Amino acid sequence: MAVIAQKCPHIKVTVVDMNAKLIAAWNTNSLPIYEPKLDEVVFEARGRNLFFSTDIDANLIAADIIFVCVNTPTKTHGIGAGSASNIKNVEACARNIARVCTTPKIIVEKSTVPVKTGEAIARIVASCGNGVAHSVLNNPEFLAEGTAIDDLWAPSRVLIGGSNDAAVEKLVSVYANWVPRERIITTNLWSSELSKLVANAVLAQRISSINSISALCEATHADVDEVARAVGMDYRIGKYFLKSSVGFGGSCFKKDILNLVYLCQSYGLHEVAEYWNQVVKINDYQMKRFANNMIKNMFNTITGKKICLLGFAFKKDTGDVRETAAAYVAKYLLEERASIAVYDAKVSADSMFEELKYTNGVDETTIPELKKLITISNTDVYAAATGAHALAVMTEWDEFKTLDYERIFGLMVKPAFIFDGRNILDHAKLRKIGFEVHAIGKVFEA
Ligand code: UDX
């Protein structure tokens, strides 16, 4: 919304939310999320044509186009628990719009939704409304965190699904203020909804494919980065999303794949469901394999040993920890009674503990003295490494490439291990310093 406001000064954009604390934070100079370049965009437009408000009803009534951007988490209970998306927040928005709006609105599903949610919204606003004909469009968001602003400024494509041509054209004309027309594609509602799930599933599938091969590389002494390079140079395949890692995270990939799996199952397409489910299974396997490799190489025991995790965010340039591989690995290490010192410049202790509990069920009841066993620093990586038996790279933050590893080596217990879960460090140099280095999909001869 900030980018729409920035690129379209003639359009008034108001972001509304029930959460007054969040809205208040968006109105300060310290925005509630870290995303490169977001500050400059918000500061340019805020107060001019970008506003943040808790007055939901008045702003719905005043709007021509309403973007529904609420979250759709994986269901934790009832039918489809663990795989289907819960669309209760989307439904609540639809009912709110129907209740207060007396003029026709264009309702845009921006949240990633199960296929056919648009139909549900259309039925709700038609049956609970004030007799006005609203239109429902789907406009999935393809931005990636860490590069969100660049992705929005120059999107690979904008996708708009819907059957009301006038409404579609109105939304096209908003994006056309900065996106070339040939990159704005229109389709029907269901294709649009499904395209978002499939885009994320295919991206994640590439990562699981190369991660599965990383295990084979370790067994055969091939090098996964070399394999990815050779494979990716085939222009039909391409080089992106073939970087082997400790596992993919983020709020979208797992959730959207499970959503796709559930959709297939509900249409009786069990083979198709199982095909996509494997993408998630390989990711779980990769995270567990990483933790197991750490334990195995550290003489089969990490009980009482200090381990320093470099990074906790699910990728670099974001403070987001949702579904981060670091939390899964931390859980496995904590279950072995290791102590963990995390260093991540952008992740707060609160969000780390929330994610450990929400996704991994780790709290003081499952891991007694949790807050003593795992700590996080935003400022001092060297203190985090002091007395550690191992460093493990969880996030590919650029700063990890240029740390003073001679100094870190001096601070650690020997043998000093490095487990590079992102393959970003200079392994030869580290081995020269004296580290025992382990990386994904590589074996170093002694
Ligand atoms: C993703 C999609 O890229 C985006 O189009 C969609 O709108 C939302 O979901 P995001 O989750 O922000 O975006 O990050 P992305 O860059 O896709 O990375 C997801 C995860 O995969 C991260 O944990 C990342 O580290 C990992 N990854 C990515 C790899 O392990 N290897 C790769 O080659 C690429």
DSSP string covering 21-84: HHHHHHTSSS-SS--TTHHHHHHHHBTTTEEEES-HHHHHHH-SEEEE----PBP-SSTTTTTS
The mean per-residue pLDDT over the stretch 305-318 comes to 97
Rounded average pLDDT over 218-240:
97
Tokens of 183: 């990159």
How many CB atoms lie under 10 A from the CB of residue 192? 22
Q: 220 CA to middle of ligand 1, Å?
A: 28
Mean pLDDT across the chain: 96
Strands 306-310 and 390-393: parallel
Could you give the angle at which helices 270-297 and 189-220 cross, rounded to 10 degrees? 40
For a mutational test of ligand 1's pocket, the pick from 248, 257, 324, i.e. the residue with the most ligand atoms closer than 8 A to its C-beta, is 248
Q: Residue range 294-300: average pLDDT?
A: 98
Return the pLDDT at 372: 96
> What's the pTM?
0.95
- pLDDT, tens only, 89-105: 999 999 999 999 999 99
Domains along the chain with CATH numbers: 55-187 (3.40.50.720), 188-446 (3.40.50.720)
Q: Using one digit for the tens of pLDDT, what is the confidence trace for 332-371? A: 999 999 999 999 999 999 999 999 999 999 999 999 999 9
pLDDT per position as a tens digit, 116-137: 899 999 999 998 888 899 999 9
Residues in a beta bridge with 296: none
Active-site residue set: 252
pLDDT in tens, 162-214: 999 999 999 999 999 999 999 999 999 999 999 999 999 999 999 999 999 99
* Nearest ligand 1 atom, CA 241: 33
| Beta strands 184-187 and 417-420, pairing class | unpaired
* Site residues for ligand 1, CB cut-off 6 Å: 141-145, 200, 203, 207, 241-243, 245, 248-250, 252-253, 314-315
Query: Phi/psi at 80 (nearest 5 deg)?
Result: 80, 10
Ligand 1, atom 17, residue with closest C-alpha:
144
Task: Please choose from 72, 203, 424 the residue to mutate so as to test ligand 1's pocket, defined by most ligand atoms within 8 A of CB.
Answer: 203
| pLDDT given for residue 129 in this prediction | 81
Confidence of residue 114 (pLDDT cuts 50, 70, 90): confident
Instruction: Tell the residue nearest (CA) to atom 16 of ligand 1.
Output: 144
The atom of ligand 1 lying closest to the CA of 250 is: 11
